[in-house]
Amino acid sequence: MGQAMGAFGVRVDVLPAYTAHLKGSIENLNRAATSMFFSTLPRYTKAQKLDIKRRVGDKDPAMVFEAFVDQFATWVRTRNAEHRMQGYGNLTPLESWLDDDAPLRVPPLEDLHLFLLEEERSTRVIHGHGIRWQNRDYVGAWMTGRTGTEVRIRYQPHHPRTIEVFHARTDQHLGTAYLADEASEEEIRAVYEARDEQVSRLRRDLDAARRLRRRRFKAVTRAEPARTAGTMTRAQAAAELAPTRRLRAKDDGVPADYMPRRVTPGAGWAMPHPASPEEKSTDS
């Protein structure tokens, strides 16, 4: 953090850990956003932290993303321009900002863009298919004639559509590389829907397995070993064990239905004859 802030000439004062009272402005802003805005939205799930006995709007329809962004932007503008802070002379945040005569320095957009990027520690090599990173290929028109060049990658977290490529030795920015063979929005949406369906199916299977694993025992009137109440057929037991056997087969490579069998010699097999006493004495 000190190195990153130093690139913009920002002084860093390191505060001790677990001292929220020393960072009152940030803590107050987060608390205000939670209590004044997020808690008023439908289907808010953190009501117990605000000492609210019931969740307002629990049955309301879910808010669409565009409506959330619009309402949040309205709340931000209202808080900055109308909310007055008693600890700052009853000024609004906007008035306090405008009254501050500290000089401002606007850094170039290119520096800000690189400031938001993380760097891959290992180097990469430009091949004919582009740059291979995280099992994906990235390509760019500027890569023509640069096959074999060793480069470094910088990227924006959670946004893998593009990466920035730099020369490994000179740190010169070579260009932007784009994800090759990118899936469409419909394909990506279908993948996420399939993942949600898989999670729901696994949860149902887990709930069913929890119910089935519960064992009941017969009632007794004297001290004796516990006996299971209820029984099952062999076919039911085999059906229950089949998935487990298939999983074990994947681990050790042995088929689930494999059973060792005794081999009976057939006609015409060449069998070794027992050694004679003379052969045994010669071997010894």
Q: Are the beta carbons of 152 and 165 closer than 8 angstroms?
A: yes
SS (H, E, C) 261-283: CCCCCCCCCCCCCCCCHHHHHHH
- Quickly list H helices, 37-82: 65-81
Q: What pTM was estimated for this model as a whole?
A: 0.55
Helix (H), strand (E) at residue 178: strand 173-179
Query: Which residues fall within 8 angstroms of residue 57, CB to CB, at 6 or more apart?
Result: 41, 42, 43, 44
Strand-pair category, 131-133 with 136-139: antiparallel
Q: Give, for all 284 residues of the chain, the pLDDT tens digit.
A: 776 777 777 888 888 877 777 777 777 788 888 888 888 887 777 655 544 555 555 667 788 889 999 999 999 999 899 988 887 788 998 998 899 888 888 877 777 777 778 888 899 999 988 999 999 999 999 999 999 999 999 998 888 899 999 999 998 889 999 999 888 889 989 999 999 999 999 999 899 888 888 888 888 888 888 888 878 888 888 888 888 787 776 666 666 566 666 666 666 677 666 666 665 555 55
- Torsions phi, psi of 199, nearest 5? -65, -45
- Domains of the chain, residue spans: 2-99, 109-179
Q: Are the beta carbons of 148 and 105 closer than 8 angstroms?
A: no
Number of H helices, E strands in the chain: 8, 7
In one letter, which amino acid is 4? A
Residue 76 has, within 13 A of its CA and on its CB side, a CA count of 7
What is residue 206's three-state secondary structure?
A: helix
Q: Which candidate, 155, 151, 144, places its Cα nearest to that of 166?
A: 151
Query: Which residues fall within 8 angstroms of residue 23, CB to CB, at 6 or more apart?
Result: 15
Rounded Cα gap, residues 38 and 47, in angstroms:
10
Rounded Cα gap, residues 130 and 126, in angstroms:
6
In one letter, which amino acid is 70? D
What is residue 150's three-state secondary structure?
A: strand
